[in-house]
Structures are given as C-alpha cells and as structure tokens.
Amino acid sequence: MINGKKVVVVMPAYNAEKTLESTYNEIPFNLVDEVIVVDDCSSDRTAEVAQGLGIKHVIRHKINKGYGGNQKTCYNKALELKADIVVMLHPDYQYTPKLLPSMLYVIANDLFPVVLGSRILGKGAIKGGMPLYKYAFNRMLTFFQNVVISQKLSEYHTGYRAFSAEVLKKINYHTNSDNFVFDNQMLAQIFYAGYEIAEITCPTKYFTEASSINFKNSSIYGFGVIKTSLQYRLQKWKLAKFKIFETQK
C-alpha cells in the first residue's frame, strides 16, 4: 500500500508466455498488493506461466474478447478486490514496471487521479524502436485530439496507465469498444468527467515478442480515435448524446 491505499496491477494478456515472467519480476511488490492476469484465450501457455509465478488472480477467457474486452474484466476484478489505485501494465515487457513507483505516488498523494506513461515526452520513441509510421500516426492523431478535445497530452495512445478507483467507478468503461479504441474512449471519458491527467516519460521498447497491432488494425484504430474525439466535441456542444459519456450509476 501507499498512504493506506491498496494498489492492484492488472495485466491484460494475450500470447505473453515469453515475456510475462520478465515483466512480473520487475514489479515493486513493496508497493503493489495484488496482481491480476487476464488471459484472453491465448494459444500459448500464458495462463500456466502466470499460475507458475504464483499469481493468485489468473482469469482465462474461454473465447477471445479483444483488447478492450480484456480490460473490462481486469478493471471489474480490481474493483471487486477493493483497489484504491489500479495500474494497467502490459505483460509483453514493452513498458517497464520500474516506473510504477513514480506513477503510483502521483495518485496516492492526490496530485492527479490518472497518470500515463508517455513514450513521446523526451526523445526516446524512435530511439526505442517505434516504427516511423507509428510515430507519425501517433503525432497526427494526438494533434487532432488535442485540438478537438481542448487538451494538451503528449500522446493518447500509450497502454501504460494508472487510475484512482474513483475514476474507474465513475466513467462507464463497460460501454466502450472491445477492441483497441477502448483505450482512447477511456481518456475521452475521463476528460469529459472533469478529471485531469498527468504524464511521465516512459522509455520505449520494441522487439519481436512485444505485442503490436498491424497496419490494418492501426488504420481501424485511427478512424475510431477520430470518431471518439468528434463525439466528445458534439456532446460538449450539446448537439448530440453518446452512451460512452454517461456516468456509472
């Protein structure tokens, strides 16, 4: 715990047997109380590796529910365990768990309710192996969103995120997509609910075993991001109403 607040790390996993142990071993367990691994019907031994590491909460989907569907299970379980702070850490070892203390202390000390690990702050994205087309895609989409949503994030597309339980209880993440645009919808929901988001520079690591969406799925994601941003603006202007911006009851 930090400041008496229970910390739960959630790991949405898919075919992560080669990288799960390396990621898990870097988690600072002097601060983290519980770890949840949700295996989204992997074709490898992800669930068995997680159990072998002694992870108490291992959930396996019998059918693949998608990246967003996986996260819904993660957050539902974390809230069921009475978490005060929830961190999403990808088990593919692309994001270092060594940043967890910094991210956690920001929330535990009530500075910000949400923290993102940004790959774009600083100059590490390309140096860390981010493909050039992904970097360009990231910058263009982020610029568009900052203009439309009227915010100033360095990027909206990182998968390294920490939330206070209050935020997860308020936004209606259950209405979001089960695919990759889920992440972006969450940030739009958080801003719409009036919360602020902090960012911390995060080293970038791209390698063979690290998960990555292909060009086709990246394009689908991009259109989803544009749609989400426009929905946000239309609802802010009271020209339309969208279910994703309804708060949980």
pLDDT at position 121 is: 87
238: alpha, beta or left? (left if phi > 0; alpha if psi -120 to 50): left
Question: In Å, how far are 20, 58, 176 from 52, measured between CA atoms?
Answer: 11, 11, 32
Q: What is the mean pLDDT of residues 30-47?
A: 97
pLDDT of residue 126: 72
pLDDT at 217: 77
| The predicted structure's pLDDT at residue 216 | 76
- Sheet of 161-164, strand order: 57-60, 34-39, 7-13, 85-88, 161-164, 114-118, 197-201
pLDDT digits (tens, 9 = 90+) for 60-109: 999 999 999 999 999 999 999 999 999 999 999 999 999 999 999 999 99
171 vs 134, higher pLDDT = 171
The partner residues of 162 in beta bridges, in order of sequence, read 87, 115
All structural domains of the chain, each given as residue ranges with its CATH number in brackets, are 7-245 (3.90.550.10)
